[in-house]
Structure 1
Amino acid sequence: MKRWMLHARRFLLLGAWFLSISPAQAAPQIDWGDMLQRLPDQSAGAKLEIDLRGRWERTLVGSVEDSNEKPIDPALIWAWPAERFSSKPGSQPFILRSGERMVARWTVFNEKLASDFLLTVKMPRLDVVHVSYRYDFGSWTTLTAGDRIPMRNWSLADRQPSFNLPLPPGQMDVVVQFAHRGVVDAPMYLQNHRAFFEARMANVLPVGIFVGINSVMALMGVLMTLNFHKTGFLSVAVMSLVVSMALLFGSGLGGLLVGTSSPQFNDEAKMLINMSWAVLLPSIAAMALSIRLYSRAWWWSMVVFSCILALVSLVWIDYNLRDQAAVTAVGVLIISLLFVVFMVAWAWYRSYSQNTGVALGLLLYASGLVMLFTAYMGVWSVERSSWSFATICMLASLMLMRGLFLQHRMGRQVLSRANTSPLRDVLTGLLNRDGMQAHLYRSRERMREEQICALFIYMPVLDANTALEELGEQGFESGMVQIAASLTTSVSATDGVARISRHAFGISVLMQPDSATATRLAQKILTRVMALAASGTPLCATARLGMAWLPLNSFRIDGLEQRCLEALETLETGKRIAWVGGAQSYIEAEQMMRAMSTNPSDPPVAPAANAYASTTGGESNLYDRIHRIEREMLGVDTRFLEEEADRMSRALNEARDAQERDKAHLAAQGQLNDFEPTEQQLGRQKPWPG
C-alpha cells in the first residue's frame, strides 16, 4: 500500500510540473495548412478535432447595448489593436458581470481541404454566443446560439452551442462573443462532421446505461407504490425519472421544470427555481419515506435555521444569481439545503430503516444534482462537473436500487407474491383479510364432509401507534414480518395463517373439539412469539390470543374478530388466552357439529339447546344458530325457506283431508265416479321439492 501511495504521489507531482511548464500562450493566428495536408484521406472525411484553448486572443469588454443579446459589430472587434486583448493562458476562466462580454478572435489558413466544420463551445448554459466569420476579407456572417435559443445541433449528453462553418481553401477570420453572466470556462473545438458525430456517439453507452437504470428503478418504484400504498416509493420513483430525463434531454433539470428559452422568466428566477427543485427533491423523498420525522422538535429547528440562513444570504448579497458575489450566496444556500438533506437522511437511517444503501443513495443524489448546477453556474469546469454528476448519480441509483427495492420488505419475493395472488398480504406473504374469509368458507365445507370442528385464533399487536412512534415504520413492519414467520412455522401447511388487519393476525386450524389440544397449540404459538420478544422484537412482549370454536361462532371474519376482541377485553390480568363462550365452549361446538351433520329436521338435543342458549344470549335452539350463521355468511335470512315449506305442507295436507271428506260424502250418496280433486281444492299449491 505504501508503495502505491508513493507512486501516486510521484505521478501527481510529475503531472503538476508538466502543466506548469506547458506553453499556453494566446496567438492571434493559427496555421493549420500542414496539419490538414497530413490527413491520410481528405475526401473520405477523416476525423479532425482541434482544441482552440491557448490559441486565441480574448478580452473583456463592456457592451454598448443595454441588452447582452445584441452582438457587437465583428468588423469593429477585428479592428481593435492586439494590445487590447489578453495574453493569459486560454484555459483560465473569466467572470462576466451584467453588461460585460468576452470576445475572442482568430484566423485560419486552409490550403487544400474544403469541408464543413462545426465550431463547438464545450460549455452548456451559456446565455448567448455569437460567432461571426468571413472568407478572404469579405463580408461578415453572424450565427447565434445559446441557453435561451433553440439549437439546431442538439448534443446527447449536454447542451453545447455548435455552429456550422464552411471551410473552403483560403483564409477565414472568426470572431466569438460570449454574452453571459457568470463564470465562463469555455474551451472551443473545431470539428468536422465525423469528429462531431463520434464525440456524440461516445456518450450513448454511459447515457444509455444511466437512463436505463433510473428508468427501471422508477418503474419499480411505481410498482412498489401500488403494492404498498406509500408516498416514499413514489417520491423515489419521480426522482429517478426526473434525473434520467434530465441527462437524456441534455438540458439539466431546468429544461424540464422551467424552459431555458422561456421569456417569462428572467435568469435569476430560472436559476432559483431550478436549483431549489434539484436540491429539495431528495429532501422531499426522504421526508416522505420517514413519516414520523416531522414530529421531532430538532427537525423543525433545523429547517427554520436553514431557511433563515438562506434568506439572509440572499438579502444581504446582490440579488443577481450569476454575478460573482451571488456565487457565495448560492453556495450558502446549497450548503444549507445539503445540511438539511444530510440530517434528514441520517435521521431516517436511525429511526426508519437503518439501511445504509438507501441513506447513501439519497445523499449521493443530492450531491450529484448540486454538481449538475455547478455546471449551470460555471463554478466548475463543465467536463468535470458533468462527469461528476453522472458518476455520483449512477452510484446513487445502484445504492437505492439495492437498498430499497431488492432488500426492503423481502424485495422481489414479496412483489411476485403480491402480483400473482390478490388474496396475499404484500408485507408478510400471508393471506390477507379476503384470503382468510375464503379459507374459512372452504373450511366450512371440509367440516361438514369430515365432521370435524375448527379453531380460530386471533392475535392482535397491542399499542400499534406507540410501536410506530418508538420503532419507526420500518421497525414495526420488520417485527410484523418476524411474527408472521413464527406463526407460519407453528401450524401445518394446510392451516390458514393471515394478516387480517394492519396490527392483527388470524389462524384457522381444523381439529377435533378438545380443550387440551387447543390449549397446547396456543401455548406453542405464545412460546415462539415470546421468543421473538426476547431476541429484540418488542411487539411480541404483550401478545395475547383470542380463541373461538367453529361452527359455534360465525364464519364471517368480521364477527369472529369482534367476538375475540370482546373476549380479550374481559381477560383477567396475567392471562394470555381468552375463550369466546368460555373454556368449555368446545362441548357446544362438538354438539353443533353433530347436529349439522345429521338431518336438520330432527329436533335438537335439549341439553345442548339450553347450554347454547345460555352462551349465545337468548337464541332458542341450535337451528336458530345455524340460520344466523348462514344469514351472516350469505347475507340473507334462510329461515323463510323452512317456513315456506311448512306452509306448503300444511296446505297440501288440508287439501288431501278435504279430498277424503268429499270422497266419503259422495260414497255415502253413491256418486263416487272418477272423482278428481280440482286446483281450487288443492289450494293451487304444488308440493315442496325435496
Structure 2
Amino acid sequence: MRWLASHPLARCKAAFGAWAAAFTLLLWCGGPAAQAQIALAARHPPPVILDDARSPLLDPAPALEWTDPQGQATLAQVVAGQGGFQPRQPERIHVLGTSGVLWLQLRLVRPTSSHSEWMIELPLPPLDAVTLYQQDPAGSWHGQSAGDRIAVASWPERGRYPVFRLEVPPGEARDVYLRVTHNARSDIPLRIASATNYGQRMQLAYLGLGLVFGGLVLVIAACLAQSWLYRDRAFLGYAAYASTIALAMAAFTGAAAHFLWPHSGTVADAAQGGLGLLSAAAAILFVRDLSGIAARSPRLAAFARWTGLLVPLLLAAYVLVDRPIGTVVLGGYLFLACALNLVIAWRAWRRGDRPSFWVLLAYLPMGVAVVLTLERIFGLSPASWANQYGLVAAMALQVPLLLVALSIHSRERHGAVIRELALSSQDALTGLLAPHLFHDRLRQLVVRHRRHGENAAVLFIDLANCARIKQQHGSAVAEQSLLRSVIKLRRLLRETDTLSRIGEARFGLILERAGTRVTVMDRAARVVAAGKMPAKGTKPDVPLQFHVAAALLDEVEMDTPELEAALATLLDSIPATTRRPIRFVGEVATEPLPPLAHGEDGIPLSEGPASA
C-alpha cells in the first residue's frame, strides 16, 4: 500500500482531486461574482473580426439574442448575466408587442492592423426604436438611439434607417448591446460594414431613389401643365395622385423622415401608414373615374367611391389605436384597394375600354408587391428586398403606365370634343366652313378693305343642276355631285382662299388680294369649265353646271348684308340655260368667257384674258 501511495500516477490523481475540491470550495465560498464571471465567459457570441483584409460587409452579423417580454430589464442586469441569450436566428419573426424588448449582443474584435471605421446597421426604416450601448475608454457604458419614433435630427448618423458608428480600438475586443423595440411582427435585420462600404451603398441607394423621385416630379409637373393648358381636370387629379404616391414612397423608404420632417419623430412614425392609406384611397378614386365604371356598373362605382371616402376614418383609427391594430387596418385597406382596382380595370377592359388595359397592367405588379408587403407586415416572412422595396418598385412602374392610360383616355375625350366642335364649325356633308363663320370672315374682310384698302373678291357659286340631278338620279347621286363640286373647287383654290357651303347647293368663296376683274373672271371660268369635265370612274357620269356671281370690293361700296343680298339676287336671276354663267355685281357691259385650254390634268386652263 505504501508503494501504491508513492507511485507517481497515484500522486497525480491525489493532486487533481485536491485541486478540484479546492476549486469547488472556492466557488462555494467565493459568492455569486465568480459564478457570474464564468457564466459570462460561457455566453459570449461568436467574435466578429473587424479586419480590413476581410469582407467589408457582414450580412447577417453573428450575435446572441434575448427577448424580454415585459421590457423591464436594464443594461446593468443584462451585462450582469440576466436573460437567456441564445444564438441569433436572422430570419426569425419577432412578436415584441407594445412592451416587449429584443436584446442583441455582439462580440467585436479589431486587429491592430485594422484602420477602417466600422458601422452597424439595422436596415428597416419602419423600426420603432433601437439603442446601441458601447463602452468608452474608461469602461463606462453609453447609449445612442435611433428609430422611426425618434427625430432623425437627433440620430447619431442621419439616414433612412438606424446606423451607428462602432467604437472599438485596434487590438481590443469589446461587447456591444442593442436594445430594440418594435410593435409590428417582423424580423430584425442586422449587418456590420466598413464606413467606406456603407457610404458607397448609400450613394447608390440615393441615386436610385433620386432617379425615381425625379421622374415622379417631372410627371407631376407635366400633368399640371397639361391640366392648365387643356383645362382637363383628369390631369390635375392624376397630379394629386402621383404626389401622394411620391410622398408614400418617400415615407416607406425612410427618405421623407430624413429630408422632409427630420425634427419630428411623431410625424415620421405616423407618415408611413397614413400616406399608404391616402395613396390607396387616391388610387381607388382615380381608377374609378378613369375607367368610367359608373356608367356600366353603378353599384361597383358607388362601392369604390365610398371606399375611397372612408379613408379619413381609417386615418384616425391608424393614428389613435395601438399600432398592431393600426397595422391590420393598413394592410387590409391596401389589399382591398388593390383588389378593387383590379376588378374595376378588368370589367372595364372586358367591355372594350382601351385605357383600362393599361390600368390592369399597372396594378398586376402592384398586387404582387402588396401581398409581399403584407406578408412582412404580418410577420409571415422575413424582411427582404422584395417585400421592403418591391412596393416602391411597383409604384414607380405604376405611375408611367397609368399616365399612358390617362393619355389615351384624354385623347379619346378630346377627340369627341373636337368632333363636337367641328359640327358647329364645319358643314357635316362637305367638311367646308360653316355659314356663320363664312359671314364673320366676310364682315372682317369688308372692314379691312375700308380701313386699309385691301382688295378682294367675293363669289357665290351655285350647282345649278343639283335639283335636276336629285330628281332624275336620287338623293345619293345629288350628294355625290356636291362632293365632286367641293373636290373641283378645292383644286382651283389657294391656301389663303376661303370656301364655305352657304346653302343646299350654294358655295361662298373669298379671294383675298384677287387683283383685277380679268383675274377673277379667269378663276370663275376655270370653275365653270371644271364642272363640265367628266369624272373618271363615276357612274352615272353627270356633268356639273356652275353659275357664278362675283363682286370686287374695289368696285362696290356695300356693307356685308347688302353685298350678300346683291350676290344672292344676281345668282338667282341667272337662267338655267344661260350662256353667261358668270356675272358681276354692278357690271355695265357683258363679258364673254375667255378662251380655255386643257391642261395635263384635264382641268381647263385660260390662254388669255377675256376680250371686251
TM-score (norm 1): 0.52
What residue number does 1:43 align with? Answer: none
- After superposition, where does 1:370-381 map in structure 2 within 5 Å? 381=383
How far residue 161 of structure 1 moved from its aligned partner, in angstroms, is 0.4
- Are 2:142 and 1:129 equivalent residues in the alignment? no
Measured in 2, the distance between the counterparts of 1:150 and 1:299 equals 43
The AA in structure 1 aligned to 2:300 is W
Corresponding residue to 2:457 among 444, 450, 470:
450
How far residue 145 of structure 1 moved from its aligned partner, in angstroms, is 0.5
* Alignment root-mean-square deviation, CA: 5.6
How far residue 376 of structure 1 moved from its aligned partner, in angstroms, is 6.7
What residue number does 1:226 align with? Answer: 228
Alpha-carbon spacing, 1:259–1:373, altered in 2? closer, same or farther (3 Å): farther
Corresponding residue to 1:216 among 202, 218, 226:
218
Deviations 1:70-96 (A, max 9, x none): xx53222122346x1244623212011
What residue number does 1:623 align with? Answer: none
Note if contact 1:341-1:366 (Cα within 8 Å) is conserved in structure 2: no
What residue number does 1:400 align with? Answer: 402
The AA in structure 1 aligned to 2:396 is M
How far residue 318 of structure 1 moved from its aligned partner, in angstroms, is 14
Alpha-carbon spacing, 1:404–1:162, altered in 2? closer, same or farther (3 Å): same
The AA in structure 2 aligned to 1:103 is W
Note if contact 1:182-1:322 (Cα within 8 Å) is conserved in structure 2: yes
- Are 2:58 and 1:50 equivalent residues in the alignment? yes
Unaligned runs of 5+ in 2: 1-41, 419-424, 427-431, 463-485, 511-545, 573-612
Give SS of 2:125's match. coil
Alpha-carbon spacing, 1:223–1:329, altered in 2? closer, same or farther (3 Å): closer
Give SS of 2:177's match. strand
Measured in 1, the distance between the counterparts of 2:163 and 2:433 equals 61
Alpha-carbon spacing, 1:93–1:261, altered in 2? closer, same or farther (3 Å): farther
Measured in 2, the distance between the counterparts of 1:606 and 1:32 equals 101
How far residue 162 of structure 1 moved from its aligned partner, in angstroms, is 0.7
Deviations 1:610-631 (A, max 9, x none): 997xx9xxxxxxxxxxxxxxxx
How far residue 191 of structure 1 moved from its aligned partner, in angstroms, is 1.9
What residue number does 1:688 align with? Answer: none
What residue number does 2:294 align with? Answer: 293
Corresponding residue to 1:510 among 499, 517, 520:
499
Alpha-carbon spacing, 1:209–1:436, altered in 2? closer, same or farther (3 Å): farther
- Are 2:126 and 1:146 equivalent residues in the alignment? no
- After superposition, where does 1:346-385 map in structure 2 within 5 Å? 346-349=346-349, 350=351, 353-361=354-362, 364=365, 381-385=383-387
Note if contact 1:220-1:405 (Cα within 8 Å) is conserved in structure 2: no
Alpha-carbon spacing, 1:448–1:73, altered in 2? closer, same or farther (3 Å): same
Measured in 2, the distance between the counterparts of 1:441 and 1:115 equals 86
- Are 2:35 and 1:28 equivalent residues in the alignment? no
Deviations 1:106-150 (A, max 9, x none): 221223125432211011111111111115781101000010223
Give SS of 1:144's match. strand
Alpha-carbon spacing, 1:293–1:371, altered in 2? closer, same or farther (3 Å): farther
Measured in 2, the distance between the counterparts of 1:375 and 1:434 equals 67
What residue number does 1:111 align with? Answer: 111
Give SS of 1:36's match. coil
The AA in structure 2 aligned to 1:281 is A
Alpha-carbon spacing, 1:512–1:364, altered in 2? closer, same or farther (3 Å): closer
Give SS of 1:227's match. helix
Measured in 2, the distance between the counterparts of 1:317 and 1:512 equals 67
Deviations 1:436-486 (A, max 9, x none): 99866677679961332489xxxxxxxxxxxxxxxxxxxxxxxxxxxxxxx
What residue number does 2:94 align with? Answer: 94
How far residue 178 of structure 1 moved from its aligned partner, in angstroms, is 0.9
More displaced 10-residue stretch of structure 1: 332-341 or 100-109: 332-341
Alpha-carbon spacing, 1:307–1:409, altered in 2? closer, same or farther (3 Å): closer
How far residue 222 of structure 1 moved from its aligned partner, in angstroms, is 2.0
- After superposition, where does 1:235-246 map in structure 2 within 5 Å? 235-244=237-246, 246=248
Measured in 1, the distance between the counterparts of 2:257 and 2:374 equals 12
Measured in 2, the distance between the counterparts of 1:601 and 1:384 equals 80
Note if contact 2:58-2:192 (Cα within 8 Å) is conserved in structure 1: yes
Note if contact 1:232-1:286 (Cα within 8 Å) is conserved in structure 2: no
Measured in 2, the distance between the counterparts of 1:373 and 1:489 equals 66
Deviations 1:342-372 (A, max 9, x none): 2333455447544522442256557657866
Measured in 1, the distance between the counterparts of 2:391 and 2:100 equals 30
- After superposition, where does 1:632-671 map in structure 2 within 5 Å? none
- After superposition, where does 1:393-472 map in structure 2 within 5 Å? 393-405=395-407, 409=411, 449-453=456-460
What residue number does 2:557 align with? Answer: 600
Aligned length: 445
Alpha-carbon spacing, 1:410–1:75, altered in 2? closer, same or farther (3 Å): same
The AA in structure 2 aligned to 1:93 is I
- Are 2:71 and 1:63 equivalent residues in the alignment? yes
Give SS of 1:119's match. strand
Deviations 1:321-349 (A, max 9, x none): 533x7655544333323233223334554
Note if contact 2:223-2:238 (Cα within 8 Å) is conserved in structure 1: yes
Q: Say which one has the larger Rg.
A: 2
Measured in 1, the distance between the counterparts of 2:392 and 2:564 equals 81
Alpha-carbon spacing, 1:356–1:436, altered in 2? closer, same or farther (3 Å): farther
Percent identity for Structure 1 against Structure 2: 16
Measured in 1, the distance between the counterparts of 2:145 and 2:265 equals 17
How far residue 432 of structure 1 moved from its aligned partner, in angstroms, is 13
Alpha-carbon spacing, 1:80–1:207, altered in 2? closer, same or farther (3 Å): same
Deviations 1:48-88 (A, max 9, x none): 22234443333233123xxxxxxx53222122346x12446
Alpha-carbon spacing, 1:173–1:409, altered in 2? closer, same or farther (3 Å): same
How far residue 174 of structure 1 moved from its aligned partner, in angstroms, is 0.7
Measured in 1, the distance between the counterparts of 2:322 and 2:491 equals 66
What residue number does 1:502 align with? Answer: none
Note if contact 1:443-1:510 (Cα within 8 Å) is conserved in structure 2: no
Note if contact 1:286-1:362 (Cα within 8 Å) is conserved in structure 2: no
Note if contact 2:281-2:309 (Cα within 8 Å) is conserved in structure 1: no
Measured in 1, the distance between the counterparts of 2:226 and 2:330 equals 36
Deviations 1:240-279 (A, max 9, x none): 3443455457656985999686476796x65653332121
Note if contact 1:213-1:397 (Cα within 8 Å) is conserved in structure 2: no
What residue number does 1:302 align with? Answer: 303
Measured in 2, the distance between the counterparts of 1:306 and 1:57 equals 43
Note if contact 2:251-2:272 (Cα within 8 Å) is conserved in structure 1: no
Note if contact 1:130-1:178 (Cα within 8 Å) is conserved in structure 2: yes
Give SS of 1:29's match. coil
Alpha-carbon spacing, 1:304–1:213, altered in 2? closer, same or farther (3 Å): closer
Note if contact 2:67-2:100 (Cα within 8 Å) is conserved in structure 1: no
Alpha-carbon spacing, 1:244–1:270, altered in 2? closer, same or farther (3 Å): closer
Deviations 1:566-586 (A, max 9, x none): xxxxxxxxxxxxxxxxxxxx9
- After superposition, where does 1:252-291 map in structure 2 within 5 Å? 262=264, 273-290=274-291
Note if contact 1:313-1:332 (Cα within 8 Å) is conserved in structure 2: no
Deviations 1:408-460 (A, max 9, x none): 6289x99xx9xxxxxx99xxxx99999999866677679961332489xxxxx
How far residue 229 of structure 1 moved from its aligned partner, in angstroms, is 2.1
Unaligned runs of 5+ in 1: 1-25, 40-46, 65-71, 418-423, 456-487, 498-507, 519-548, 552-585, 616-690
Corresponding residue to 1:175 among 157, 174, 177:
177
Measured in 1, the distance between the counterparts of 2:563 and 2:401 equals 70
Note if contact 1:322-1:377 (Cα within 8 Å) is conserved in structure 2: no
The AA in structure 2 aligned to 1:176 is L
The AA in structure 2 aligned to 1:201 is Q
